[in-house]
Structure 1
Amino acid sequence: MKIVDARVIVTCPGRNFVTLKITTDDGVTGLGDATLNGRELAVASYLRDHVAPLLIGRDPARIEDTWNYLYRGAYWRRGPVTMTAIAAVDTALWDIKGKVAGLPVYQLLGGRSRDGVTVYGHANGETVAEVLDEVARYTELGYKAVRVQCGVPGLPVTYGVSQDKMFYEPAAARRPVEATWSSEKYLRMVPELFAATRDRFGPDLHLLHDVHHRLTPIEAARLGASLEEYAPFWIEDPVPAELQEGFRLIRQHTTTPIAVGEVFNSIWDCQQLITEQLIDYIRATVVHAGGITHLRRIFDLAALYHVRTGSHGATDLSPVCMSAALHVDIAVPNFGIQEYMRHTELTDEVFPHGYRFADGYLHPGEEPGLGVEIDEKLAARYPYDPAYLPVNRLLDGSMHHW
């Protein structure tokens, strides 16, 4: 069996997605997600102009060799564009391997380690009262875990708070929206949010919160300490992870669990955080960390150091990636939780899939491969629409982390 075609499909059924479709000489096809939010066309070009021509004639069964061919064979390694492109190829090849074997991909990864994949949804609102109503809606849908994000008094906009509560999409403008930020105001608000949520919903509901890289280590330590009595499942991305030693300071001052890694591209990005046990959950994901092959390496390393998985799962991951994530989640021994932001009905029509949600769990499909297809005729009706993520400034106008 040989690869005879590798084609890049860009579509925007409500938001932009990049998909790689690989076809073999036997007519078997595989899909890989190549979406990099706000930089989609950079990956599309990398695949179309540099990677796809190299795939023609290769044996699709040699997944490990192909991964190393694209990684070690490129002098300019790593980075979000390169690793997202490699992820697309890797994921598509796993899809093909599952179809050839007649098995869902998770069976090729060792089979089930659990019956279902625990997921969390996003409850948000301008006020604490609005957030509590959204938490109630998610619990009624059967969620056992909910991320809570609230507007900060005195700030016009806040990360994670949206008009469309179910289909939050931050990349929504032709130029980056400029938001403003105050860590002082934020640090006063978050404990109030957790106190009110625990008071209404009790101790059994898992509560998560995303800081989105905005604090210093000592500020993050203060936040973690102030939330301990409310037993958060985790606080996510408390500080930018470029300075990984900063997490050591957080650890010294709080037992609140820490999750990080959705912007990581490789095992080397998180090696220190994992081996020094500075985090509790690693949030790397299939599309941005080199595909199923490399993500499994990251998760296997994490398992040695009592770090569990908590993969990114926002709407900038297409159903192709969500399905791939579920096949990994159901198989790895150190699974923790999976983020699950629902796609719109239109996105689901473009990417029909077999995975399903029931009683707080996602279940991967039992179809051979990943269990996801792409309706190319429908996809062609929705051309690329430029959209940027916001940027962030402090109240005095200084640039800050978004």
Structure 2
Amino acid sequence: MRIVDAEVVVTSPGRNYVLLKLTTSDGHTGWGDATLNGRELAVAAYLSEHVLPLLDGRDASRITDTWGFLYRGAYWRRGPVTMTAISAVDQALWDIKGKAAGLPVYELLGGRCRDGVTVYGHASGAGIEETVAGVQDFLDRGYRAVRAQSRIPGLVATYGIGTGVSEVYEPAVGAVPMEEIWETGPYLDFVPRMMARIRAELGYGFDVLHDAHHRLTPIQAATLGRSLEPYRLFWLEDPTPAEDQSAFRVIRSHTITPLAVGEVFNSVWDCQQLIGERLIDYVRTSVTHAGGITHVRRIFDFADLHGVQTGAHGAGDLSPVGIAANLHVDMAIPNFGIQEYMGHVEPTARVFDVGYHYSEGMLHVSDRPGLGVDVNEDAARAYPYVPRQLPVVRLRDGSMHNW
């Protein structure tokens, strides 16, 4: 079962996605997600120029060997572009292996550990009232966990605010990044009031999450975590810039609010200290951005040894192929915590035929062989790439801040 063809497909059915298609000598095809929001063409070029020429004639069944060949065989390792490219190859090979065996990938990973994958939705609003209504909408649809974000009075733009009551949120717009102004003080005052209203009006019979999106210092994050303790958050996500793992010691020493981080991590070494020292409660690495199923399974196994659960990134900046890859891992691991699920904007469904579906707070994976997602290539080519940049953030004095 040799690889005889490899193709990168860039498509934008409402949002940019980079896909990899591998074809074997016996006619099996496999798909992988290589989407890196705002840097899509960098991964597409890395694959086309540096990876695909190495795959011709390789045995598609040797997934772990191919992973090592692409990772250890490259002197310049790690980083989001490299690891997203490796991930796409890895996903496609698992897809092929599942199709060749006639089994869904989760069966190849050891079989089901659960009946479905619990997901959380994204509620947001122009103020507390709209956010509370958004949370209620998700609860009415059967969600058991909801992330709550709200526009902050006095700030023109705030992270995580969608349009209307919807799980879909698209921050990347335009060929030039939008510039947003940020103030931490109003944010630290506002979020506890928002959570107090949510709990007062909707109770404690569900889980609520919040994303600080890397914008706080360690002591600011500790202050926020402590102020949110009465409202029993499922987690406080990305409280500080993720590069500084030692910062979480400060946060951990001041609050018992659970902490989640990792969507920007690309390897087990990015979160080795956080997991090894039990400084976080949930690791949020995704299959698409952290080296594929092969490597993310290693991260999650390492986390399991230290009592850390999973909460993989699952925003709309992953294609349905990447979401499916996450779900197959979620189904097979013992330390699953929760899965982010934002859904996809139209006309994504014209390009992707997915084998998973939502019901009563969970995503359910089909028994289709492989990853269970088919791609309509003609439809994909009908939606060419559209330049889109993620925003940047400045403080009121004009200095750069973390978005």
> Which bracket does the TM-score occupy, shorter chain normalised?
over 0.9
Q: What are the superposed Cα offsets for residues 4-62 of structure 1, whole Å, 9 maximum, x if unpaired? A: 00100000000100000000011100000000000000000000111011101000000
Q: What are the superposed Cα offsets for residues 101-142 of structure 1, whole Å, 9 maximum, x if unpaired? A: 100000000001111100000000110000011111111111
TM-score in terms of structure 1 length: 0.99
How far off is 1:349 after superposition? 2.0
Match of 1:317 in 2: 318
Match of 1:157 in 2: 157
Aligned-pair identity in percent equals: 64
In 2, the alpha carbon distance for the partners of 1:332 and 1:128 equals: 37
Match of 1:59 in 2: 59
How far off is 1:165 after superposition? 4.0
Q: What are the superposed Cα offsets for residues 263-315 of structure 1, whole Å, 9 maximum, x if unpaired? A: 00000000000000000000000000000000000000000000000000000
1:373 counterpart SS class: strand
In 2, the alpha carbon distance for the partners of 1:360 and 1:265 equals: 28
Match of 1:401 in 2: 402
In 2, the alpha carbon distance for the partners of 1:345 and 1:361 equals: 21
Match of 1:20 in 2: 20
In 2, the alpha carbon distance for the partners of 1:121 and 1:378 equals: 28
In 2, the alpha carbon distance for the partners of 1:293 and 1:176 equals: 34
Name the CA shift for 1:164/1:40 in 2 (closer, same or farther; >3 Å). farther
In 2, the alpha carbon distance for the partners of 1:378 and 1:221 equals: 48
Letter in 1 for 2:111: G
User: Does 2:289 align with 1:301?
Assistant: no
Q: Aligned ranges for residues 228-377 of structure 1 at < 5 Å?
A: 228-377=229-378
Match of 1:222 in 2: 223
User: Does 2:135 align with 1:116?
Assistant: no
Match of 2:9 in 1: 9
How far off is 1:173 after superposition? 1.6
How far off is 1:217 after superposition? 0.3
Letter in 1 for 2:311: G
- Tell me which moved more, 164-173 or 219-228: 164-173
In 2, the alpha carbon distance for the partners of 1:355 and 1:99 equals: 16
Q: What are the superposed Cα offsets for residues 135-166 of structure 1, whole Å, 9 maximum, x if unpaired? A: 11111111000000011111001000122542
Letter in 2 for 1:43: V
Residues 14 and 346, structure 1, Cα contact 8 Å, conserved in 2: yes
Moved over 3 A (4+): none
Letter in 2 for 1:79: G
In 1, the alpha carbon distance for the partners of 2:329 and 2:243 equals: 27
Residues 14 and 346, structure 2, Cα contact 8 Å, conserved in 1: no
Residues 315 and 341, structure 2, Cα contact 8 Å, conserved in 1: yes
In 2, the alpha carbon distance for the partners of 1:162 and 1:206 equals: 20
Letter in 2 for 1:154: G
1:179 counterpart SS class: strand
Residues 242 and 264, structure 2, Cα contact 8 Å, conserved in 1: no
Letter in 2 for 1:387: R
In 2, the alpha carbon distance for the partners of 1:181 and 1:165 equals: 24
Letter in 2 for 1:135: V
Match of 2:148 in 1: 148
Letter in 1 for 2:329: V
In 1, the alpha carbon distance for the partners of 2:211 and 2:34 equals: 24
Letter in 1 for 2:60: P
How far off is 1:243 after superposition? 1.4
Match of 1:34 in 2: 34
How far off is 1:200 after superposition? 1.2
How far off is 1:345 after superposition? 3.9
User: Does 2:167 align with 1:174?
Assistant: no
In 2, the alpha carbon distance for the partners of 1:348 and 1:93 equals: 24
Letter in 1 for 2:258: P
How far off is 1:241 after superposition? 1.6
Match of 1:84 in 2: 84
How far off is 1:218 after superposition? 0.3
2:21 counterpart SS class: strand
User: Does 2:203 align with 1:202?
Assistant: yes
1:352 counterpart SS class: strand
In 2, the alpha carbon distance for the partners of 1:200 and 1:347 equals: 35
Letter in 1 for 2:285: A
Letter in 1 for 2:261: V
Name the CA shift for 1:164/1:45 in 2 (closer, same or farther; >3 Å). farther
1:13 counterpart SS class: coil
In 2, the alpha carbon distance for the partners of 1:314 and 1:359 equals: 19
Residues 319 and 348, structure 1, Cα contact 8 Å, conserved in 2: no
In 1, the alpha carbon distance for the partners of 2:163 and 2:67 equals: 41
In 2, the alpha carbon distance for the partners of 1:23 and 1:9 equals: 14
In 2, the alpha carbon distance for the partners of 1:259 and 1:165 equals: 25
